[in-house]
Each structure stands twice: as C-alpha cells, then as structure tokens.
Structure 1
Amino acid sequence: MVFAGIFFGVFFGLFLVVLLLLVRGRPAPRSGTARPRVSILIAARNEEANIERCLTSLMQLNYPAEQLEILIGDDASTDDTAAVVARFIADKPQFQLLLIRHRLGTARGKSNVLAHLSRAATADYFLITDADMALPPDWVQTMLAAAPEGVGVVTGVTTAGGNLFGRMQGLDWLFGLSIIRLLTDLGWPITAVGNNMLVTRAAYESIGGYEALAFSITEDLQLFDYIVRQGWGFRNLVDGRVLGVSVPQPTVQCLLHQRKRWMKGTGRLPWQLSGLFGFYGLFYMVVFWPALLSPLMVATLYGAKILMQTLFLLITLRQVNRRESLKVLLLYEFYLAVMSIVVIGYTLMPVSIQWKERRYRWAEG
C-alpha cells in the first residue's frame, strides 16, 4: 500500500506539472515579413489515392508561388502515383516530379528519395512532408519564423481525421507531440517528425545528408539526432498554423505495422521521453494489480487519470484550433489502453516490419 501511495503521488504530481507547463506554454513564433525561397520535399510511394489532396493543400499556401520549389520524388511506385502527380502539376511551374530509381550512398527507401530531392533542391530551407498530409495555409512562414540563425530543425504538429478510428489516431498524434513539445521547451532534444519538418540546408549538409548515414526506418529521428549532435538548435511547435492533417491508417493491421516501425525507433529516444511514457504506461499495471487497492480506490484513481488526460487533450486541441466531442475524448482512454497492450504484443512477435509495401527485418532499422 505504501508503494501504491508513492507511485500515485508521483504520477499525479507529474501530471499536474505537465498541465501547468502546457497552460503556460512557450509563445508561438510570430511570422516575419521576409519570404525566402523554400524547397518542399515529398517522398511518395504508391500514394495515388492521397497525393492530390496533399498537392492541393500546397497550392493553397499563403506564400508567393515564385518563392516555392515543390519537389515530389516517386519512389518506384507500382500504382499510378507518378501519373496523378504529372497531371496535377502540368501547368504549375513551382512543382517538379522526379522519378527515383537508383540509390545514393547508404540511403534506402524514403531516406534515399529525400537524399535525391535534397540534392535537386535550390533553396536554403527544406520543408519535408508526406504524400498523405494536408498542410495549413500559413505553414511555411510559421515554420520559418521558428528557425532563426542557429536553429537547424523545426517540427510542426500532426493530427488525423476521418472516422472514429482515424480521430483516435489523431488524438494519439496530438498527445505524443504535445508531450515532446513540452520537453523540447525545457531544452531537451527529443525528436523530429518527418511528415511535418523544416531542416536548413546548412544543418542537413553538416551531417553529409541521408546518403552518408546508416540506413534507418526511422529516418526522421536519425536526422534529428545527427543534426543536434552537430550543435544545431531545435524547436517543436504545437500551433494551428503548422497543424498537418494526415490520412489515418485504414485498419488495425496497418496501424500495427506503423507502430512497430515507430517502436523500433524508441531505442534512440532520450530517456526523458521513454521514461515518461513508460511511467505513464505503468499506471494500468499498478492500479489494476490484484488485491492491491479497493474497488472504490481503483475507480477513483482511474477516474482522476481520465479527467486529467481529457483536460490535457482539451488544452492541446485549443492550442491547435481544433475541436473534439467529450464522448470521443473519453473513449480515447480505452483506445489508448487497448492499443498499448496490442502494440507491445505485436512488436514482440517475430514478423517483419512493413513500410510503404516493403519488408524490413527488425535488425535492419
């Protein structure tokens, strides 16, 4: 009982600190008037169903078209991705399609496409996103405002939409990225997210580019790690002006493939984040440990956890100018509990990691 008292005292104490930090928050950067030329890089493989949505959102950016260079790299797609892109960009000179068919150095898959696109880019700022993302109109100038001299990498925030399953994934994105932002604001380098990221050319070239790095299936975390090691600054934003909306994983099986790849990258995460999420996950084990607590105490503690978690999500949603029903926010707790167990189990299974219709062994990543 003493252990339980200490555990829950620390758990809810930390949660209160996190909520206070979330409310205070670091002020979002104010966009300046300068509009430097930027290169937007998109790696695409078998994205015929999604990529036009992404390209349409980039057409609606509040940024001078003549200052945009949008490079799409087709990664040997076996569907009509290249044809869809070619039709869309036919009369849009700021767009360019590159067919990626050979490797640069040690790069493979997505990192190989980005290596090619970075070599083709002509600007000093690379904005990297995925083909299944839709970006907001003020994305470019807000990301640039967070990258003064000395900052090498900036990460925006992501969510997902669609049906209830997709919205749960969207809350997952917001929950995790908001925690990462809080730790980053404390000065701890945590990670970047490759579907919504700015990298300066100087920072990218200081590490030799993707072609000089050992292959990783979590290429965004790897890039961030190497850039920070070179002494570059970093910034994570939770702001509606940089909120990208991803197409959610359509099935539980697809989601498990994605999460297994992410779990491979957890070994590279700083102790602050892995420790915080690990401690958060221990809540279920301790609160439901047989005969440790009375049913009334279990219900009280579990209810307090759901209340604080819902408050966290409500504040985060407000910061990114999104809304969600209370019913969905409460359901998220049960989605989180079930998916946490299932993802751990699936990660431990001796099956390959599937990513963009390619298979990788666990040791490869």
Structure 2
Amino acid sequence: MLAAGIFFGLFFVVCLGLLVLLSRRQRPRRRGVRAPRPRVSILVAARNEQASIERCLRSLAQQKYPTGRLEIIIADDHSTDATAAVIEEFIRDKPQFRLLRVRERLGCTKDKSNALAHLCRAATTNYLLFTDADMALPPDWVATMLAALEPGVGVVTGITTAEGNLFGRLQGLDWLFGLNVIRVLAERGLPTSAIGNNMLLTRAAYESIGGLENMRFSVSEDLQIFQKVVARGWGFRHLCEPQALGISEAQPNFSALLKQRKRWLKSASGLPWYLTGLFGMYATFYTVLCWPGLFPLSIITGIYLAKTGFQTLFLAITLRQTGRREHVAVLLLYELYLCIMSVAVLAYTLWPTRLEWKERRYTLAEA
C-alpha cells in the first residue's frame, strides 16, 4: 500500500509539472517576411506507397517556398508495387522533383536507412529536410523548420498527428501526447529523440557523425541520428505549432497498429532514462491501480478520474497550440483507447516474434 501511494504521488506530481511546463511553453520567434531562403533538400524514402505517395508529393509541391530553391528527391526503396510509376507521373512537369532508384547498399546500412543514406549523398544543399511517404506537410513547413535554426543548432523536429475515422483520430492524439512530452523536455534542455517523418538536419551536423553508412544498422535511425548529433555538441529544437504539424496516415487496423507500436517499444531501450521512466510509469499505471485487493473501489475511481482529467487537459492545450480541435468526448475516449493499447502492446511486444516493418522482418537486436 505504501509503495503504491508513493507511486501515485510521484505520478501526479509529474503530471502537474508537465501541465505547468506545457502552459508556459516557449513561444516561437517572429519570422521576418524577408528571412534568408537558402536552397534546401527534401528527402523522402518510399517503399510500396502507391496508395499514399501522391498525397505527400502534392503537399511538397504546394510549399510556399521558391521553387528554384527546392530539390525534392524521392528514393524508391525496392518497391514491389506501382510506387515508382506514381512518382514518375506526378513529377513529370515539376523540375524540382527527382526520383532516385535505390539498388545498391551503402556501408552498414540496409532497407530504409540505406535509402536515406543514398538520399543524403544525392542531396546538393546544406539543409536536409526528411519526411515519410505517408505524410502531408503544411505549406509553410520548409520556411518554419528553417526559421528554427540558430547558430549551433543541428537538428529541428516538427510535430505529427493523424486523422481520419475515430480510430485514426485516437492515433493522432497518441502522436500529439507523446511528442509534446518530448518537446516540453527538450525546451528544458533535456535531449530525447527526433522523429524522422518531420525533421531537419544541417549538412554540417549530418557529416559530423559520419553519415548513415558508417552507423550500426537500426530500424530507429532517427533516434540514432539524433543521439549522435547531440553527442557531437549540436543543439536541437522541437516545434509545436500549426506550421510545423505533419499529418501522418493512420494505421488502418489494430494489427498494423500493434506492429508499429512493438517497433517503437523495442526501440525505447535507446531513449534516455528520464523519458523511459515517464512512459514506463504511464504504462504501468493500470497494473498498479487494478492490483487485486490494493485499493477499495472508491479510491480506484478517484485516481482514475484524476488521471483522466490531467490527460484531457494536457491534450486540450496541445491541440490549441497546434491549431487543432477535437470533441471532448473523443478526448475522454482516448483514455479507454490508451488503457486497451497499453495492455495489448505490452503483451504483443513480449510475444517472441520478429519485428515487422514495411513487409520486412527484423531481429530484436536490430531495433
């Protein structure tokens, strides 16, 4: 009983602290209309994305940035569907776009990290913007990410959500919740991770770590890059504003979502202790709360409602900061979604099967 009391006391102290820090967020600086606009490279690794790649390319073609200062390179990573044909048709009359067919392996890389390594070699600018083929970016994305760069900053991360039906919107809340916790920590000088679907690297920062081809292979190459860049002394920025908000396609079903989250959870071993501790505390909340005979029903109900209240308020503030809106009923339903997912992902992760990602399988060591 005493240990459980300490656990929940610490849990709610952390929740209150995160809310205070979130409400006192650092405001984005004003961006001058005539800010410098250097040439930039937008890099997209695509594998079997024929259904979603055009949505991504359309959003990149609509960037409010001088076309002549953009090079957009899409790597076809051994697709077995019509991804390459869809890309070729879309970019036919758009000289800022280029299709790169990946066939050779560079250094220690393979699969997506190999495609990214090829993209970085093919890029001809000093600013590398990364996104995924299932993402759509706002028109001011390029300018907003560049404006966050300051002397000494090597990596900038935007924020991501998902949309669609109710299942997709709940996944979107999951993205916003986790990434805004990371952003709050980053604003207090605590490095955690970058998200490769919405990331900017300077060429100098990327070359300082030797490039992907000289890094041990991992399916979490974004986390790996971020940690090595920070270890080299580069600064980092995390943005939470509408102009840096990417919209990812939601996982289509529960099975696909479990595979995605298993990969994320297995990769969490590389995260710093303070973020692992925060997410670990959140994941074990239900186990401690519902331990047989530990608390009477009235106390269980009170703790559960308090947690739901903190969580809903955190999400409401996050949505406001990113220019999004959501029904209160969906915010409350997120608690049920989170409870189910916490148990299901933990069980699925412990199940002795390989990781599956983009129709490829990996050992746990490669996570």
| 1-structure distance, mates of 2:177, 2:217 | 28
Higher deviation after alignment, 340-349 or 306-315: 340-349
Q: CA deviation at 1:2?
A: 3.3
The answer for the alignment partner of 1:131 in structure 2 is: 133
Partner residue, 2:100: 98
**How does the TM-score come out when normalised to structure 2?**
0.97
**In 1: Cα distance, 2:64 partner to 2:31 partner:** 12
Provide the residue aligned with 1:347 in structure 2.
Answer: 349
Asked if residue 21 in structure 1 is aligned to residue 21 in structure 2, the reply is: yes
TM-score (norm 1): 0.98
The number of aligned residues is 365
SS in 2 for 1:231: coil
Q: What SS does structure 1 have at the residue aligned with 2:252?
A: coil
Match of 1:191, SS state, is: coil
Q: What residue in structure 2 maps to residue 361 of structure 1?
A: 363
Residue pairs, 1:194-205, within 5 angstroms: 194-205=196-207
Identity within the alignment, %: 61
SS in 2 for 1:35: coil
Partner of 1:91: helix, strand, or coil? Answer: coil
Corresponding residue for 1:325? 327
1:18 Cα deviation (Å)?
Answer: 0.7
Task: Note the C-alpha offset of 1:285.
Answer: 2.0
| Equivalent of residue 188 in structure 1, options 181, 187, 190 | 190
Q: CA–CA distance in 2 between the matches of 1:302 and 1:78?
A: 47
1:183 counterpart letter in structure 2? L
Q: Which range is displaced more, 199-208 or 255-264? A: 255-264
Q: CA deviation at 1:57?
A: 0.6
Farther off after superposition, 42-51 or 288-297: 288-297
Aligned residue runs from structure 1 range 16-165, under 5 A: 16-32=16-32, 33-165=35-167
Equivalent residue in structure 2 for 1:168, among 167, 170, 181: 170
Which residue number corresponds to residue 274 of structure 2? 272
Which residue identity lines up with residue 364 of structure 2 in the other structure?
W
Give the match for residue 223 of structure 1.
225
- Give the deviation of 1:17 after TM superposition: 1.1
The answer to whether the 8 A contact 1:39-1:126 is kept is: yes
Distance of 1:133 and 1:93 partners within structure 2: 21
CA RMSD of aligned residues (A): 1.0
Deviation of the 1:359 alpha carbon: 1.1
Q: Measure, in 2, the Cα distance between the counterparts of 1:217 and 1:339.
A: 22
CA contact 1:30–1:142 (8 Å) conserved in 2: no
- Consecutive unaligned residues of structure 2, counting only runs of 5 or more, are none
Separation in 2 of the partners of 1:284 and 1:249? Answer: 25
1:304-358 CA-to-partner distances (Å, cap 9, x unmatched) read 1101100000000000000111111111001111111111111111111111111
Q: Which amino acid aligns with 1:25?
A: R
Q: Take 1:364 and 1:139, find their aligned partners in 2: how far apart are those partners? A: 32
Counterpart residue type for residue 305 of structure 1? K
Matched residues in 2 for 1:261 and 1:294: separation? 37
Structure 2 distance, partners of 1:280, 1:343, is 13
Deviations 1:227-259 (A, max 9, x none): 111111111111111000000111111111111
Secondary structure in structure 1 of the residue aligned to 2:284: helix
> How far, CA to CA, are the matches of 1:53 and 1:235 in structure 2?
27
SS in 2 for 1:182: helix
Instruction: Look up the SS of the partner of 2:169 in the other structure.
Output: helix
Which residue type is aligned with residue 102 of structure 2?
A: I
Q: Name which of structure 1's ranges 292-301 and 150-159 shifts more when overlaid on structure 2.
A: 292-301
CA distance in 2, matches of 1:15, 1:268: 23
